[in-house]
């Protein structure tokens, strides 16, 4: 069975049926994508860090329901000792080409790349690697760049999966 890891944007979109501020197409595509993964028999891995990121955008009233939905529908993976070791090798100050790339991103001062965001992304990648995921799906180009050479990382929107047609709006 293929183990695939999903990043928070996919789950945030899929759970955002009630949030009108998110692009309706992304909400529909995320739900269709997760259904497609299920139909393909993929084991969907959700790192605990992703669960935390997703729940940050959920109201206190919906938190319990969303938590149970995530933990019952998907295989959850803790940020554990093997993941921490992989993270330390990625974020540390060694001489590997990936560490040099991470250091360049970390030192770039780009506003979109906060140090905490970089750490969270690397922890998610490390968790996927520690739990033997073969693909990491996201909708975050920087995450894809960080994962390059470590794990097959793809933008879920660019994948070829069956999509529902939007319901025509009354005009």
The structure's pTM equals: 0.84
Structure token pair of residue 164: 């529902």
pLDDT for residue 90 is more than 80:
yes
Per the CB < 8 A criterion, the answer to whether 47 and 128 are in contact is: yes
**pLDDT tens across 66-77, in order?**
999 999 999 999
How far CA 107 is from CA of 50, 76, 84, 97, 102, in Å, comes to 24, 32, 22, 15, 8
Domain assignments of the chain as residue spans, ordered by start: 3-158
Structure token pair of residue 126: 């490390």
pLDDT for residue 119 is more than 90:
no
pLDDT for residue 11 is more than 90:
yes
- Provide mean pLDDT across the span 5-28: 84
Domain at 3-158: CATH code:
3.40.50.1010
**pLDDT tens across 125-163, in order?**
999 999 999 999 999 998 998 898 999 999 999 999 988
DSSP string, 96-130: SHHHHHHHHHHHS--TTS-HHHHHHHHHHHHHHHH
**What gap in Å lies between CA 118 and CA 106, rounded to an integer?**
7
Q: If we measure between CA atoms, which residue out of 156, 141, 169, 168 comes closest to residue 31? A: 156
């Amino acid at each position: 069975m293929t183990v695939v890891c999903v990043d928070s944007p996919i789950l945030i979109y899929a759970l955002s049926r009630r949030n009108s501020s998110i692009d309706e197409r992304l909400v529909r595509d995320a739900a269709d994508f997760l259904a497609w993964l299920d139909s393909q028999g993929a084991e969907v891995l959700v790192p605990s860090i992703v669960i935390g990121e997703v729940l940050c955008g959920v109201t206190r009233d919906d938190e319990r329901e969303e938590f149970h939905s995530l933990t019952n529908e998907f295989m959850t993976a803790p940020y554990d000792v093997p993941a921490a070791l992989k993270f330390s090798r990625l974020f540390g100050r060694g001489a590997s080409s990936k560490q040099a790339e991470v250091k360049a991103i970390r030192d770039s001062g780009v506003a979109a790349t906060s140090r905490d965001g970089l750490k969270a992304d690397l922890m998610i990648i490390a968790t996927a690697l520690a739990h033997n995921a073969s693909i990491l799906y996201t909708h975050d180009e920087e995450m894809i760049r960080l994962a390059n050479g470590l794990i097959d990382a793809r933008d879920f929107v660019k994948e070829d999966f069956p999509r529902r047609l939007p319901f025509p709006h009354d005009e």
